[in-house]
Amino acid sequence: MTASGANDAAPPTPKYAASHYIVSTGDDRSPDAQGYQIGCADGRAGASGLRILLFGTQERDGRIRPPGTTRSSPAARVSAEWVVSSSVGWMRGFAKCGRANAVLALGVNNKADGGADPTTAGAAWANLVQRVGSAAPQGRVVVGGAMDGEPAWSKADWARGWVDAYVRGTPRVLYAAGSADGCPSDASTEACNKGWTVGDVFHISTGAGANVVALPQIYRTDGIQARQWAAISAWGTRSGAGPLRVIGALSQRGACRQQSGCTNTDNSADDARTQLGQALATDPSTRTANQLTATDIDWSSPPPSP
């Protein structure tokens, strides 16, 4: 092969797809353009597979607060229509700028500080996912929902109510991209942080319906999060519900490189996937038959003021 031929060779396909925290750049008149730019960059990267766009927190008035913020944050809120337009723009850019395929999960978190009713919020998000899914380019993008559910952010009943409403509202897959704060890494207890139980985490990650699958946050480099999720899966088999439907692992190295404060929580996508797979494989009842996917999350724009 000539030197010219070598230069023309296609670059190696990345091993994982990038996920993003989506923050408005401030021009709410053109969310489609912002989504297009992000999607085009992802399309050019050439990675097929699952990725999440996390838009933040649903509030009482139906608007959505950016990720990483609290109720008192001055950060600009966006409408559900903004999310739809941004997501459709992402799909358009992804399909235009590359040849990869994607499973696109549109997500929010379970922060209850915005005063949203969980049943109303979950149903609204199911409707939004349905709308975006109907606009997906056939054969290139499959659309689902996502929930960043964490015990620190709401009571367990709030998160369970949201997920139950989503499941009633759409058959599209819900990717549970959450954490298991304070949950055990063995069978010694069923208690997690903030009054949550292992059963609560299992419910919002698999138990709520056949279209709910787990994409656990495996951020920590010491492997404890992987062992927590393996213990939750083992709880499912002991309780008769079956193991977690684990689809893969979510890491945050990209976000960590954009801001400080990630001591021992900057697993690479490959390390996160390996840790989770090894932890699940220690018990025949939780071992996964299929290769786990991996996706790493970053910030689409600079993080807003919390």
- Is residue 88 a contact partner of residue 135, using CB atoms and an 8 Å limit? yes
In whole angstroms, give the CA distance from residue 111 to residue 59.
Answer: 9
In whole angstroms, give the CA distance from residue 74 to residue 80.
Answer: 19
- Provide the residue ranges of all domains of the chain, joining segments of one domain with +: 14-299
Q: Class assignment of domain 14-299?
A: alpha beta
H-type alpha helices, 148-217: 156-169, 198-202
pTM, rounded to two decimals: 0.94
At 43-81, the pLDDT tens digits run 999 999 999 999 999 999 999 999 999 999 999 999 999
Task: For residue 164, give the 3-state DSSP assignment.
Answer: helix
At 260-279, the pLDDT tens digits run 889 999 999 999 999 999 99
CA angle 281, 298, 141 (to 5 degrees): 75
Place of tokens 């599209």: 172
Predicted confidence band of residue 4 (pLDDT cuts 50, 70, 90): very low
H-type alpha helices, the chain: 3-8, 31-45, 80-97, 118-134, 156-169, 198-202, 224-239, 253-258, 269-281
At 89-141, the pLDDT tens digits run 999 999 999 999 999 999 999 999 999 999 999 999 999 999 999 999 999 99
Q: Regarding predicted confidence, which is higher, 12 or 215?
A: 215
At 222-235, the pLDDT tens digits run 999 999 999 999 99
| CA-based nearest residue to 195, from 228, 230, 153 | 153
| CA-based nearest residue to 197, from 156, 154, 254 | 156
Q: Name, of 4-8, 212-216, 285-289, the range with top average pLDDT.
A: 212-216
